[in-house]
């Protein structure tokens, strides 16, 4: 498959160019960054976009007009934006668009496992670890995991988790996301990791996902490229691609 990379000089784009070039079933035919003409991408069959929320909608519209499949990792998608992409994709028959906020297979599997485990334990808390340059806390992934765990517990009719805390130094028990406690650590030298601790009397299960560098996203991006051409229309998230 001939692939064009949008955002090719960015942190993620450079990884994508490397990963696609190293795969025997793919070829990089265009590397486009801000200000570059997009015409070289017309030689591609699929586009990978890791650019900027301000640029991605125009890149998607352009790619669909040229009949190119799309794997989109750029973040900032609202329900309105997704609805617009769905409409545009429907007007481009046979063309597939995959939009995923997280291409880490480990992170997607962790959320899946956490949903499965959630109803079966009395207590669950999340710890996320990131580099100290990160501006937001807790991380988007931790928020999503907490929301998924809370939804699974609600659906199963689980009682509230035991917690006798009445006197708390603010922050000591972490943030409450849908009733699930999330603790955010910021430590120099780390990239990104997350642990979900499930406990019941006599038993503990800990899920841990450790992202050491941006290459961790590439198996998900390549799986998305292999998948998208055979699946017209808009697909959101890597879960479907991984068969979850
Ligand atoms: N889905 C995921 O798993 C995942 C993982 C990491 C980052 N991201 C997202 O990917 C995006 C890029 O992240 P990054 O860390 O590589 O950022 P970055 O700033 O390092 O790279 C973005 C690149 O896109 C280029 N660009 C901007 N407008 C463009 C346009 N119109 N056409 C082509 N190129 C353009 C920029 O010049 C830059 O080189 C962000 O939205 C980020 O949140 C997603």
Domain containing residue 147: CATH number: 3.30.360.10
Torsion-angle region of 7 (φ positive above 0: left; ψ -120 to 50: alpha; else: beta): left
pLDDT at 170: 96
pLDDT at 140: 83
231 and 144 in a common domain: no
d(CA 34, CA 70): 18
DSSP, residue by residue, 201-222: TTEEEEEEEEE-SGGGGHHHHH
Q: How many domains does the chain have?
A: 2
**Residue at 243 is within a domain:** no
d(CA 200, CA 101): 32
**Residue at 55 is within a domain:** yes
pLDDT at 101: 87
170 and 134 in a common domain: yes
d(CA 67, CA 92): 7
Consecutive H or E run containing 186? strand 180-186
Q: Give the structural domain span for 156.
A: 105-212
Distances (CA, A) of 142 to 127, 130, 156: 8, 11, 21
222 and 196 in a common domain: no
223 and 167 in a common domain: no
182 and 61 in a common domain: no
**Residue at 244 is within a domain:** no
Tokens of 118: 């959630």
d(CA 122, CA 118): 9
Residue 159: phi and psi, rounded to 5, are -75, 165
The CATH number covering residue 69 comes to 3.40.50.720
pLDDT at 141: 87
Report which ligand 1 atom has the smallest distance to the Cα of 12. Answer: 16
Q: Which of 7, 13, 70, 222 to mutate to test the pocket of ligand 1 (most atoms within 8 A of CB)?
A: 7
**Residue at 227 is within a domain:** yes
140 and 74 in a common domain: no
Torsion-angle region of 49 (φ positive above 0: left; ψ -120 to 50: alpha; else: beta): beta
Positive or negative CA dihedral for 186, 187, 193, 198? negative
With a Cβ cut-off of 6 Å, ligand 1 is lined by 6-7, 9-13, 32-34, 50-53, 55, 59, 73-75, 100-103, 217
How would you write the pLDDT of the chain (244 residues) with one tens digit per residue? 999 999 999 999 999 999 999 999 999 999 999 999 999 999 999 999 999 999 999 999 999 999 999 999 998 888 899 999 999 999 999 999 999 989 999 999 999 999 999 999 999 999 999 999 988 899 888 998 999 999 999 999 999 999 999 999 999 999 999 999 999 999 999 989 999 999 999 999 999 999 999 999 999 999 999 999 999 999 999 999 999 9
Biggest CA-to-CA distance, the chain: 64
* Residue 134 bears catalytic tag: yes
**Residue at 48 is within a domain:** yes
pLDDT at 131: 92
Asked if residue 232 lies in contact with residue 120, where contact means CB atoms within 8 angstroms, the answer is no
Positive or negative CA dihedral for 186, 123, 242, 71? negative
Neighbouring CB atoms inside 10 A of 135's CB total 4
State the catalytic residue, choosing from 18, 52, 66, 134. Answer: 134
**Residue at 42 is within a domain:** yes
């Amino acid at each position: 498959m001939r692939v064009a990379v949008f955002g090719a000089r960015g942190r993620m784009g450079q990884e994508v160019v490397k990963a696609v070039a190293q795969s025997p079933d793919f070829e990089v035919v265009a590397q486009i960054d801000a200000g570059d003409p997009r015409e070289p991408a017309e030689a591609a069959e699929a586009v990978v976009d890791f650019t900027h929320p301000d640029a991605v909608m125009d890149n998607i519209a352009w790619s669909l007009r040229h009949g190119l499949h799309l794997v989109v990792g750029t973040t900032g998608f609202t329900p309105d934006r997704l609805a617009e992409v769905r409409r545009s994709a429907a007007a481009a028959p046979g063309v597939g668009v995959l939009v995923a906020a997280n291409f880490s297979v480990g992170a997607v599997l962790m959320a899946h496992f956490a949903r499965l485990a959630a109803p079966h334990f009395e207590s669950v808390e999340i710890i996320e670890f990131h580099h100290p340059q990160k501006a937001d806390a807790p991380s988007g992934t931790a928020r999503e995991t907490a929301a998924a765990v809370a939804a699974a517990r609600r659906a199963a009719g689980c009682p509230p988790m035991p917690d006798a805390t009445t006197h708390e130094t603010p922050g000591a028990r972490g943030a409450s996301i849908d009733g699930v406690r999330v603790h955010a650590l910021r430590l120099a030298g780390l990239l990104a990791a997350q642990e979900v601790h499930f406990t019941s009397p006599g038993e503990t299960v800990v899920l841990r996902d450790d992202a050491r560098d941006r290459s961790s996203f590439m198996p998900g991006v390549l799986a998305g490229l292999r998948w998208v051409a055979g699946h017209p229309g808009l697909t959101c998230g890597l879960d479907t691609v991984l068969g979850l």
